Structure 1
Amino acid sequence: MNKFLLSVHVLAAILFIGPVTVAASMFPPIARRELAADQPQTAVLRTLHRISTVYAIGGIAVPVFGIAVGAGLGVLGEVWLVISMALTAVAAGVLVVAVLPVQAEVIAAADQDGATRTAVLPRARRLSMTTGMFGLLWATVTVLMIVRPGSTTGV
């Protein structure tokens, strides 16, 4: 059963977290370009925001199945797993609080006049840093899942 749960956990991470990370990181440069344009096109921005939102919801499966695997292996108290769970929670918080709302704000501003678009441009620039932190958090979790320092179950 643990092999099945681990398989679902890894597949969910690949299928949901990967696309969210890529879509979120693609959004800022396109947003900056469109906000600076005379007649911005928001179709790509809307698609990237939709991917970020929908796949984030699917991404809830990652920690759910991860906790099930950890419980099955009896390692929920291991430091590497506790840190991974905390970083996962931080990454989810960054996405929900700092990435998705700014994406929505940028899309709304892109449909407005030039002054409104110019006013939101600094937030679109900072979004690059925020999505970079989001990606770095997931990269750290991935490394912890592979290396598992101090784990009694691994290499």
Structure 2
Amino acid sequence: MTKLLLSLHVLAAIVAVGPVTVAASMFPPAVRRALPSEGGEPVTTAVTTVALLHRICRVYARVGIAVPVLGLATALAMGVLDDGWLVTSIGLTAAAAGVLLAFVLPRQDELVGRLQGSRSVDRRSTVRLAMFTGVFNLLWATVTVLMIVRPGSTTGA
């Protein structure tokens, strides 16, 4: 059962977190490409791309709930719920989810609305969003490393 849970946990992480990480990273530059040139209208295809990237982030963020659920089930089956590396991973996962829900998705939503409403978007807002996205990605990268190179691992790493 542990191998099945671990496999599902890893698959969920790849399928859910991967698209959010990539789409969120692509979002700020896509917004900058969609900006109108000197008083014109926003570039329609670029605005559509921005909206699609935001939708990918929202949908896969919901699917991503399966990752910690399956992770906790796997940890319970393995009897490692009280290990320091796992507690740290849980905290970092919660922090990543918090950054995504509190900073990344709301700012994406605001920028999509601004572009679709032909309102101005300043470069600072895209830079700030890129920073929050980078923090989100860094937290997930750290969790990934902890999951692979964990203390007491039997992989020999």
With the length of structure 1 as denominator, give the TM-score of the two structures. Answer: 0.92
1:26 aligns with 2:29: no
Specify the SS of the correspondent of 2:117. coil
1:110-149 matches, within 5 Å, as 110-113=115-118, 116-118=119-121, 120-149=122-151
The answer on whether the counterparts of 1:148 and 1:154 sit within 8 Å (CA) in structure 2 is: no
Equivalent residue for 1:51, pick from 50, 56, 74? 56
**What is the alpha-carbon distance in structure 1 between the residues aligned to residue 62 and residue 11 of structure 2?**
15
Q: Deviations over 1:52-82 (max 9, x none)?
A: 0000000000000000010001000000000
**CA offset at residue 111 of structure 1?**
2.5
Structure 1 stretches of 4+ moved >3 Å: 152-155
**CA offset at residue 124 of structure 1?**
1.5
Contiguous gaps of at least 5 residues in structure 1 = none
**CA offset at residue 123 of structure 1?**
1.3
Q: In terms of mean alpha carbon deviation, does 40-49 or 3-12 score higher?
A: 40-49
Q: Deviations over 1:123-152 (max 9, x none)?
A: 122111111111111100000000012x36
Higher helix share: 1
What is aligned with 1:4? 4
What is aligned with 1:103? 108
Report the residue type matching 1:25 in the other structure.
S
**What is the alpha-carbon distance in structure 2 between the residues aligned to residue 23 and residue 50 of structure 1?**
9
Percent identity between matched residues is 55
The answer on whether the counterparts of 1:20 and 1:55 sit within 8 Å (CA) in structure 2 is: yes
Contiguous gaps of at least 5 residues in structure 2 = none
**CA offset at residue 35 of structure 1?**
2.6
Instruction: Provide the aligned length of Structure 1 versus Structure 2.
Output: 151
